[in-house]
Chain A
Amino acid sequence: MVFIFRMMEDQIVLNTDKWIDNYADYMYNYAITRVNNSDLAKDLVQETFFAGLKSAKNFQGKSTERTWLVSILKRKIIDHYRKINSKKGKAEVRMNFYDEGENEGNWLEERVPQSWDNQSEKLIENEELKNQLDLCIDKLPEKYAMVFRMKTIQEFETEEICKELDITASNLWVIIHRARTQLRKCMEDNWFNI
């Protein structure tokens, strides 16, 4: 009896009133660098706070409040990834290679890389180039864009992405490959050879 009483006394109280002021920006930044959509990032942060409130009594104080909230946000991001990776959310990228027959694995004729014109002037960093890069990434199916951004733009380690999205390394490389072949074609058609 005395033991239970002590446990109740020691229960960690979360400072929920200060959550928004203390963690909202950090959580929003965390979410947006992964999903790259401000509305979706806001929704995920809001859902995380709601879930945190609902399960506040499970907080054992083994980690900081922020770490605990981020672990909830991570689950939300995995759930989102699974949703876009489900059959319903699947929008396949265009094929670049024959996927069967005697030409299996060879370039499809219409997807063969073409020579790029005036490369030197096309490589100058400016607002137009930045916009075109973003446009091409945005054209990818969401799942491909998410993994590509995490790996290439946010420069996360392969292991970290696999852990966060619960995918295998070979799965990640297939996604990166499909994303990059699609992006090369998009940049060729809309930037280098226009």
Chain B
Amino acid sequence: MFKSLKLTCDQATTICDKNQYGEASLLDKVKLNIHFITCKICFKYTKQNMTLTKLYKGHAKRCKEMKHCLSDEEKNALKRELEKINK
């Protein structure tokens, strides 16, 4: 039973990454916390990961506010290409 609760660092950080999006299961979170008892490296990874999540969230907000459009020139070029095919 205890063996099934054991994680490698690779597995523990995978759960940690999943947890940044709120999608780790309760069992996964329990296993992760057990892993932290013996692994300070993964604990540090998790703290840094949370910091990065905050940065990515700010970045996401800025990126999503940007609207991407084609210029009139690009649209006209596209129109000409379509007309060629449509003939």
Contact = CB atoms under 8 A, between A and B. Distances in A.
Interface of A: 16, 19-21, 24-25, 28-29, 32-33, 38, 41-42, 45-46, 49-50, 53-54, 96-97, 104-107, 112-113, 115-116, 119, 123, 125, 129-130, 133, 151-155, 158, 173-174, 176-177, 180-181, 183-184, 187-188
Nearest to B7: A105
B45 A184 contact: yes
Nearest to B24: A173
Contacts of A29: 67-69
Given A107-B41, A158-B23, A173 B48 contact: no
B51 A123 contact: yes
A41 B14 CA distance: 31
Report whether over half of chain B's contact residues are helix, strand or loop; otherwise say mixed: helix
A105 B8 contact: yes
Nearest to A33: B68
Interface residues of B, number: 39
Contacts of A106: 8-10
A147 B49 CA distance: 18
B3 interface: no
Most buried by A among B9, B85, B86: B9
A24 B45 contact: no
Contacts of B68: 25, 28-29, 32-33, 38, 41
Contacts of A151: 21
A24 B75 contact: yes
Nearest to A29: B68
A177 B17 contact: yes
Contacts of A187: 52, 55
B54 A46 contact: no
A20 B75 CA distance: 7
A184 B49 contact: yes
B10 A123 contact: no
Nearest to A31: B68
B29 interface: no
Contacts of B48: 113, 116, 184, 188
B78 A25 contact: no
Contact of B82 (A38, A49, A96, A130): A49
A177 to B, nearest CB: 4
Nearest to A132: B55
B18 A176 contact: yes
A133 B59 contact: yes
A112 B14 CA distance: 15
